[in-house]
Amino acid sequence: MTPGIAKVLAWSAASVLVYALALKIYRWRNAHPFLIPVATGAALIMALLALLDEPYPVYAQSTGLLRSLIGPATVALAVPMFVQLQRLRSVWRELSATLLVGGAAAIALAMGLAWVLGAGASLVASLAPKSATMPIAMPVAERFGGQASITALAVAVTGVAGAIFSEPLLRWMRIRDDRVRGFAAGLTAHAIGLAREMRTSPVAGGFAALAMCLNGVATAVMVPVVYRLLA
Amino acid sequence: MTETRSRPSPLRWLAAAAQFCLGVAILLLLQKAGDAAVARFALPLPGALVGMLLLLAALVAMGRVPRPIALAAGGLLRHIMLFLMPVVAGVLDHLDMLQGHWLPFMVSCLLGTALTLVVTAALLQRLLHGRAAASGASAG
């Protein structure tokens, strides 16, 4: 079953308009982490679907064009990564070691805490890559039996939590180095942490951007390794 | 082209639009190449991620970002949340997976995130601090 051209046009246009509105709200409220456009926008779409009594699968099929741009956008992450790699070459040893340990900790904590508290295999897989940026986390989780939309929810909650926790936690740890702060936030809280750190300082923003890209790659490589070890 | 410098001319806008489209086409091709590599070598990675690594290798080899790639990457990354929104909106259809499992989900997301932040920040702070103290270099 494929949706008609009218539905494709209507739902694609509605998505763009809802996104523009969500973006406007986000900027108006000074980029508060609770108001990231992907979350408010999705909530508005869900309300719209309920209101019009439209089943989600019809909406999903009608917006295939938008979804098909996730792939090219993921490839595009190489550009900020390249730019940051040029700038941050002097501390690459420290960053590599931190990436390995921090990336592994993110996966182990996500899976371990959920498993200890009784989550099933599918939920554990959905949570495993949640510190990675959404377009990387979703296919990684699906490969190991996770559900993409649950992963998206976990990624969003993780990002919001990371963006809110980073400031008080690092103050409590007496860490004032913007490089450390940016890298920790980008590794843990991907694009939402990055958005937060760009408002802190350019140094924190640069380190957050690099950490987000690096941890996307690290997560995609390490989650299969974890599953091989568990098998 | 000097007279078009002060205000955007339709011609210049068209040229940028063409470069943007070329850039998106290149990114799409790289994703397809990544998909093909994943299928051919049975890699446990998303195809787009392999495409990203291919692009990164190409950028390192060139030593700069060509304008079509820069334009396309900037535009797509700025609005990546728009492309992800339709997937996130499907969360209601899968919420039954969290039925009775909200506790592990939230603990994993909140406590796991806080601990990851602490581990990452503590390690990098120690590594950078040790290095700066040993070499006498100042932090940036």
The mean pLDDT values, 10 residues at a time, for chain A of 231 residues are 85 96 90 83 94 93 92 91 85 95 97 96 96 93 93 91 90 93 95 82 87 94 95 82
Is residue B4 assigned to a domain? no
Could you give the number of structural domains in chain B?
2
- Residue range A148-207, pLDDT digits in tens: 989 999 998 999 899 889 989 999 999 999 999 999 999 999 988 887 887 788 888 889
CB contact under 8 A, A83 and B65: yes
Nearest chain B residue (CA) to A96: B124
Q: How high is the pLDDT of residue B1?
A: 44
Is residue B119 assigned to a domain? yes
Provide the whole-model pTM.
0.83
Q: What are phi and psi of A77, to 5 degrees?
A: -60, -20
Is residue B104 assigned to a domain? yes
Is residue B40 assigned to a domain? yes
Q: How high is the pLDDT of residue B138?
A: 44
Dihedral (Cα; A80, A81, A86, A87), 10-degree rounding: 70
Verify that B69 and B17 share a domain, yes or no.
yes
- Structural domain that includes position B102: 98-135
Who among B74, B115, B121 is closest to A109 (CB)?
Answer: B115
CB proximity list for A149: less than 8 A, separation 6 or greater: B87, B88, B90, B91, B93, B94
Asked if A131 contacts B116 with a C-beta cutoff of 8 angstroms, the reply is yes
Asked if A103 contacts B104 with a C-beta cutoff of 8 angstroms, the reply is no
Residues of chain B with pLDDT under 70: 1-8, 131-140
Among residues A221, A211, A214, A201, which one has the least CA distance to residue A162? A211
Is residue B26 assigned to a domain? yes
Q: How high is the pLDDT of residue A9?
A: 94
DSSP A83-96: HHHHHTGGGHHHHH
Nearest chain A residue (CA) to B95: A150
Who among B47, B48, B108 is closest to A127 (CB)?
Answer: B108
Helices B80-88, A5-28: axis angle to 10 degrees equals 110
Q: How high is the pLDDT of residue B98?
A: 87
Query: Does residue A73 sit at the B interface (CB-CB below 8 Å)?
Result: yes
**ipTM summary value:** 0.86
Q: Tokens 């470069």: give the residue.
A: B19
Q: How high is the pLDDT of residue A191?
A: 85
Q: How high is the pLDDT of residue B139?
A: 43
Verify that B105 and B70 share a domain, yes or no.
no
In angstroms, the separation between the Cα of residue B15 and the nearest Cα of chain A is 20
